[in-house]
Chain A
């Protein structure tokens, strides 16, 4: 039955497509393949999510090798949710990518570009779906290496330095994760996450376990770009090709947060990771600083892609705050924000991509009068910006509402202050763009010219999703609540 093989298809389809893509190498063919593979992955992920919601966790032994020896895939609500986010964003952004890539990347490189894209997608999906700690590291390397390539293809020469820095930092992060996994293996003799979870409590008092935990959290902190380990991120997002910024901003850090959740909640367990270890307080402090300081930096950025990158660092702060609460409500807020943040950052970066396609710049000074020159594109930007601020009736409001409720429940008042201050700072940096686009006089020679429909349609899809999930929260909140309960080991 094909439905029994869905977990394998989730990863294999984009992987095979990547190989084919390299052979085809003609831009149009490569793009078509990328789109189709992404769409297929999206369909698979929705089927998986439906299956998990109906009948519970799916275990899949790759190649028929049983769990302790072979590689086991394990799909529960949390990773089904992440798989859905990643594959959906990849599909929507790949529609946008065609025109954007055609204008930003040389023709002979476009085949390689799409190959790297598909590999990156494979890696991200693989990280999310696997139940094996070492396999996770392998997929992490696949996605990281391909994303270095993607970033380096940016038309700005600084993209090379940015990609190089990301490579160094990403490799350090991956190495730390490998060291952490290695220590755990030495301690327990298994790499399967379920087995790890069973055997770790007996040895959790040892130094080895604690060292492993330290390496894992710092390594993941790097991948997540938790302040102060975020320094690679602003340049990487700012100088990458537009489509890559949109794709990575909406997915890469999300998947890394998922891995952190997986290790903290499923492998080490809440009692050890957030109870015995002072991780919660660390996350709370770093998260709060990230929200405030990165948002403030964003206000003064002239390059809007860099501004959004700093805003991403701030959003990661919110995610960390949600985890640090160590309650089901806080975790719900984090998982929910994974989804909503993917929607708003996707919309905003795609809108910037449309603008870059038309005026060839993402600097604030070139935005004068853009509200009249590109009304539809700026509409997407405004919707995304409102969602980023957390205006009611947008997806961003729902995230913040749940985060505030969770903080209230725990009685952590300072966090509420941080969230509100962060929203006010977001008002400033979004307003800065809106003011320039709508209230400044456009240059004399400017004419009204929009981006092509192939870019506008995905942009508006994301914008509408931001509004839709602002009042219709059955899917986003419903799954997030159940996923959080599952991670906490409470009956679903």
Chain B
């Protein structure tokens, strides 16, 4: 049992789930991560050879501190999400969620690129069903778009692997970038692999699938989705591209641009998606700096981020589950009906905002210190701005509009017990890590000498930043400077930005939407024309699909014989 590759237990178990009676499937799904985690605890470090396939050694397993850190948190997240999904009576969701979890874990422990690719594709194929499972037309379409992007990433990855194999003769999944961290020197194969990782990591301009698809997922599906896909990409970057300079710039942009979108968004789960993007930016910066401290920061951030992001998605999911809506303009005042959910949500919000004594703080401090240590001045300022932005859209906007603010008049029941239990578990972990960061630090790939609370000034700086953000919110609220009942709510009219910024952004959004629509119109015209052409030739009654008379078949034979005679005589 100990020599099994991690993740296999969950994958095989997932396929066996349909054999259980429908009511027991949820419990089965809960048991799988627990069993698999027990197996993981017995694994010793090292690289284990896999099976021989087509002359290559595949299914290699690599266990080292980096993969173990991700392995542990993936198991914990899977367990919490499965607990949260205990009420679901849908075989498809249970099976695909567990396939998704198992393949994500398998990918983290894969020692060669082909294995990585295989698991990479299974995560894409399995996770899309968590979106389809909403069984609405919008979800179906968003799921198809998601699938196209994810498969596209897989195709790039496979192409990159083939080229890389051709160039270097190695399939091992190690550092792919050169020691100087310069991507422009890398081979085409490495570029393609980088692009594949970038899509899955939702790099700026490659990020749209995330905000498009995740809000359409089921209540429980979104919790699974928030934890695995993008963090798998962060892991892959940390493994293959540590110290790649260009990642620093990409990461900073990633932390900044989603803020603008998050503040003008009405769908609260979509706000969380933008904030997910922003958080990934911090990890990407950490990977890009590539020092031991920075990599530790990225891994620690991924670890705690999975917990509090899942917590936030769970609390918003609970609201959606009970009220049937997730639009900020329709919600408000729910703290009366759902006090526990509200409390858990606030814990998640404070963690993501990196309040001292919450988990986000102890992880983000590592990254920030690494940035400061490397004298990346602009990056540091960018990340500071982003931190304040996180406070605005995730720290205040999410709990405020769902649970406080204008009373929507909705009165519903508290979330079901198992949801509360799952949220409670995540919340406890968030606080515990904030108080006692040492166990987390012990899991990190490199030794940590860092004491987050030793430098008192840092805590104070962070508090000041957060309190000013909160102050801005209160001042604006008191002076009534934004209308609370509009469907489109903007919170970023604060001291960080000029007041006109949202309007400009809305204008830009409107213009770009128009341009986009014009583009789409032209595109669909072109598409229709093309489709007509294709149907004429390939359709059920098209030229190439028709049943042909025997005479024309014989004609083809004559043509071909003549052609080959001429060719062969030449």
Contacts A302-B540, A473-B53 known; A278 to B568 CB distance under 8 Å?
Answer: yes
Q: Which stretch, A74-82, A98-106, A205-213, A248-256, touches the partner chain B? A: A205-213
Contact of B375 with A by CB under 8 A: no
Contacts A296-B538, A310-B545, A398-B54 known; A215 to B561 CB distance under 8 Å?
Answer: yes
Min CB–CB distance B218 → chain A (angstroms)? 15
Number of A-B contacts (CB under 8 A): 96
- Cβ proximity bits B528-555 to A, threshold 8 Å, 1 near / 0 not: 0000001100111010110110101110
Q: Which residue of A lies closest to B567 (CB)?
A: A278
The reply to whether B132 and A293 contact each other, CB–CB distance below 8 Å, is no
Give bound CA distance, A31 to B560, whole Å: 41
Which of A173, A228, A404 has most B Cβ within 10 Å? A228
Which chain A residues border B151 with CB–CB below 8 Å? 427
The reply to whether B567 and A301 contact each other, CB–CB distance below 8 Å, is no
Which of A164, A218, A402 has most B Cβ within 10 Å? A218
Min CB–CB distance A427 → chain B (angstroms)? 8
Q: Which stretch, A84-92, A117-125, A229-237, touches the partner chain B? A: A229-237
Which chain A residues border B569 with CB–CB below 8 Å? 207, 210
Contact of A44 with B by CB under 8 A: no
Contacts A229-B557, A302-B540 known; A402 to B54 CB distance under 8 Å?
Answer: yes
Contacts A293-B544, A408-B162 known; A172 to B554 CB distance under 8 Å?
Answer: yes
Contact of A468 with B by CB under 8 A: no
Min CB–CB distance B311 → chain A (angstroms)? 32
Min CB–CB distance B12 → chain A (angstroms)? 13
Contacts A228-B556, A229-B557 known; A277 to B568 CB distance under 8 Å?
Answer: yes
Which chain A residues border B542 with CB–CB below 8 Å? 297, 300
For window 430-468 of B, CB contacts with A under 8 Å fall at none
Contacts A165-B550, A297-B545, A401-B54 known; A176 to B561 CB distance under 8 Å?
Answer: yes
Give bound CA distance, A278 to B565, whole Å: 11
The reply to whether B54 and A222 contact each other, CB–CB distance below 8 Å, is no
Min CB–CB distance A407 → chain B (angstroms)? 11
Min CB–CB distance A291 → chain B (angstroms)? 13
Which chain B residues border A477 with CB–CB below 8 Å? 54
Give bound CA distance, A169 to B551, whole Å: 10
The reply to whether A218 and B118 contact each other, CB–CB distance below 8 Å, is no
- Cβ proximity bits A306-323 to B, threshold 8 Å, 1 near / 0 not: 000010000000000000
Give bound CA distance, A214 to B540, whole Å: 34
Q: Which residue of A lies closest to B566 (CB)?
A: A214
Contact of B121 with A by CB under 8 A: yes
The reply to whether B121 and A392 contact each other, CB–CB distance below 8 Å, is yes
Which chain B residues border A277 with CB–CB below 8 Å? 567-568
The reply to whether B54 and A213 contact each other, CB–CB distance below 8 Å, is no
Contact of A299 with B by CB under 8 A: yes
Which chain A residues border B548 with CB–CB below 8 Å? 231
Contact of A466 with B by CB under 8 A: no
Contact of B51 with A by CB under 8 A: yes
Which chain A residues border B561 with CB–CB below 8 Å? 176, 214-215, 218
Contact of B503 with A by CB under 8 A: no
For window 215-229 of A, CB contacts with B under 8 Å fall at 215, 217-218, 221-222, 228-229
Contacts A297-B538, A300-B538, A301-B540 known; A282 to B564 CB distance under 8 Å?
Answer: yes
Which chain A residues border B264 with CB–CB below 8 Å? none
Contacts A213-B568, A473-B54 known; A299 to B162 CB distance under 8 Å?
Answer: no
Which chain A residues border B534 with CB–CB below 8 Å? 296
Q: Which residue of B lies closest to A300 (CB)?
A: B539
Give bound CA distance, A301 to B570, whole Å: 40
Min CB–CB distance A147 → chain B (angstroms)? 17
Give bound CA distance, A401 to B56, whole Å: 12
The reply to whether A301 and B545 contact each other, CB–CB distance below 8 Å, is yes
Which chain B residues border A359 with CB–CB below 8 Å? none
Give bound CA distance, A301 to B554, whole Å: 24
The reply to whether A214 and B564 contact each other, CB–CB distance below 8 Å, is yes
Which chain A residues border B155 with CB–CB below 8 Å? 420
Give bound CA distance, A172 to B558, whole Å: 10
Contact of A168 with B by CB under 8 A: yes
The reply to whether B539 and A172 contact each other, CB–CB distance below 8 Å, is no
Give bound CA distance, A281 to B133, whole Å: 48
Contacts A165-B550, A169-B550, A392-B121 known; A300 to B560 CB distance under 8 Å?
Answer: no
Which of B51, B114, B540 has most A Cβ within 10 Å? B540
Q: Which residue of B lies closest to A423 (CB)?
A: B155
Which chain A residues border B140 with CB–CB below 8 Å? 439
The reply to whether B553 and A232 contact each other, CB–CB distance below 8 Å, is yes
Which chain B residues border A235 with CB–CB below 8 Å? 547
Which chain A residues border B53 with CB–CB below 8 Å? 471, 473
Give bound CA distance, A234 to B151, whole Å: 31
Which chain B residues border A172 with CB–CB below 8 Å? 554, 557
Q: Which residue of B lies closest to A158 (CB)?
A: B547
The reply to whether B560 and A229 contact each other, CB–CB distance below 8 Å, is yes
- Cβ proximity bits B130-148 to A, threshold 8 Å, 1 near / 0 not: 0010000000100000000
Contact of A22 with B by CB under 8 A: no
Contact of B513 with A by CB under 8 A: no
Which chain A residues border B552 with CB–CB below 8 Å? 231
Which chain B residues border A408 with CB–CB below 8 Å? 162, 166
Min CB–CB distance A368 → chain B (angstroms)? 15
The reply to whether B166 and A391 contact each other, CB–CB distance below 8 Å, is no
Contact of A393 with B by CB under 8 A: yes
The reply to whether A169 and B568 contact each other, CB–CB distance below 8 Å, is no
Contacts A293-B544, A408-B166 known; A169 to B118 CB distance under 8 Å?
Answer: no
Q: Which residue of A lies closest to B55 (CB)?
A: A477
- Cβ proximity bits A279-304 to B, threshold 8 Å, 1 near / 0 not: 00010000000000100110111100
Min CB–CB distance B155 → chain A (angstroms)? 7
Give bound CA distance, A329 to B466, whole Å: 64
Q: Which residue of A lies closest to B554 (CB)?
A: A172
Contact of B473 with A by CB under 8 A: no
For window 343-372 of B, CB contacts with A under 8 Å fall at none
- Cβ proximity bits A413-447 to B, threshold 8 Å, 1 near / 0 not: 00000001000000100000000000100000000
Contacts A296-B534, A296-B538, A297-B544 known; A214 to B557 CB distance under 8 Å?
Answer: no
The reply to whether A211 and B565 contact each other, CB–CB distance below 8 Å, is yes
Which of B117, B539, B542, B547 has most A Cβ within 10 Å? B547
A215, A231, A301, A310: the one within 8 Å of B553 (CB): A231
Min CB–CB distance B115 → chain A (angstroms)? 9
Which chain A residues border B162 with CB–CB below 8 Å? 404, 408
- Cβ proximity bits A156-169 to B, threshold 8 Å, 1 near / 0 not: 00000000110011
Which chain B residues border A293 with CB–CB below 8 Å? 538, 544
Min CB–CB distance B543 → chain A (angstroms)? 10
Which chain A residues border B550 with CB–CB below 8 Å? 164-165, 168-169
The reply to whether A169 and B553 contact each other, CB–CB distance below 8 Å, is yes
Q: Which residue of A lies closest to B58 (CB)?
A: A471
Give bound CA distance, A218 to B558, whole Å: 9
The reply to whether B556 and A229 contact each other, CB–CB distance below 8 Å, is yes
The reply to whether B132 and A439 contact each other, CB–CB distance below 8 Å, is yes
Which chain B residues border A439 with CB–CB below 8 Å? 132, 140
Which of B132, B535, B548, B557 has most A Cβ within 10 Å? B557
Contacts A165-B550, A301-B545, A310-B545 known; A217 to B540 CB distance under 8 Å?
Answer: no
The reply to whether A391 and B535 contact each other, CB–CB distance below 8 Å, is no
For window 430-481 of A, CB contacts with B under 8 Å fall at 439, 471, 473, 477
Which chain B residues border A427 with CB–CB below 8 Å? 151
Q: What are 10 pairs between A and B in contact, CB < 8 Å?
A: A164-B550, A210-B568, A213-B568, A229-B560, A278-B570, A299-B538, A301-B540, A302-B540, A393-B118, A408-B162
Residues of B within 8 A of A (CB): 51, 53-54, 114, 117-118, 121, 132, 140, 151, 155, 162, 166, 534-535, 538-540, 542, 544-545, 547-548, 550, 552-554, 556-557, 560-561, 564-565, 567-570
3 closest cross-chain pairs (CB), A and B: A210-B568, A296-B538, A231-B553
Residues of A within 8 A of B (CB): 164-165, 168-169, 172-173, 176, 207, 210-211, 213-215, 217-218, 221-222, 228-229, 231-232, 234-235, 277-278, 282, 293, 296-297, 299-302, 310, 391-393, 398, 401-402, 404, 408, 420, 427, 439, 471, 473, 477
